[in-house]
Amino acid sequence: MPNAPRSPRSEQPAAESTARAAVDPVAYDWLVALGMMAIGAIAGMLFLHYRSPPATSSAVSLGAFAGVLLLAAAIERVLEPLVHFQLLGADPASRAVRCLGLAAALAMLACGFFGFGVVHAFGDSATPRYIDVIVTGLGIGALTKPWHDLIRGIERWAHPLR
């Protein structure tokens, strides 16, 4: 009977609609890292704009590499206590991605403050200095992990009993 009264049913929502969608931890870590990089790039560009450091000239020696290695070593030493105390995460994969993001952000900040850029140091004056800050910061940020591994290997070689 189509017009017969129906008995009231208990309406329960589907389990899928009440459960919150889980966030992929790898995607979340990369978004955090990209957010740190974006903040570092913006701060570095603001430093470059308002501080107006002198432009770097074309490299005639290994001075550009010295600046890159110096910044990579300094940033690696800054990140070491954060990694030791697990402030960037306990999971090794999560920690590596967040270290990359923070290292690149700090490198972009330093490059903007000091006006350092490898693209201009090697003679390309057509590229805007803002792009040079981002490219150099990403390169230095990516260099901190191999630099850390080199330092760790030298420490293990020098003190094999530890």
Q: Output the pTM of the full model.
A: 0.81
Provide the pLDDT for residue 67.
84
Provide the pLDDT for residue 76.
93
- DSSP per residue, 10-57: -----HHHHSPPPPPHHHHHHHHHHHHHHHHHHHHHHHHHHH-PPPP-
Tokens matching residue 72:
């990579």
- Per-residue confidence in pLDDT tens, the chain, 162 aa: 566 666 666 565 555 544 566 889 999 999 999 999 999 999 999 999 999 887 766 655 567 788 889 999 999 999 999 999 999 988 999 999 999 999 999 999 999 999 888 888 887 778 899 999 999 999 999 999 999 999 999 999 999 875
CB atoms < 10 A from the CB of 118, how many?
19
d(CA 36, CA 99): 10
- Closest Cα to residue 75, out of 151, 130, 157, 132? 151
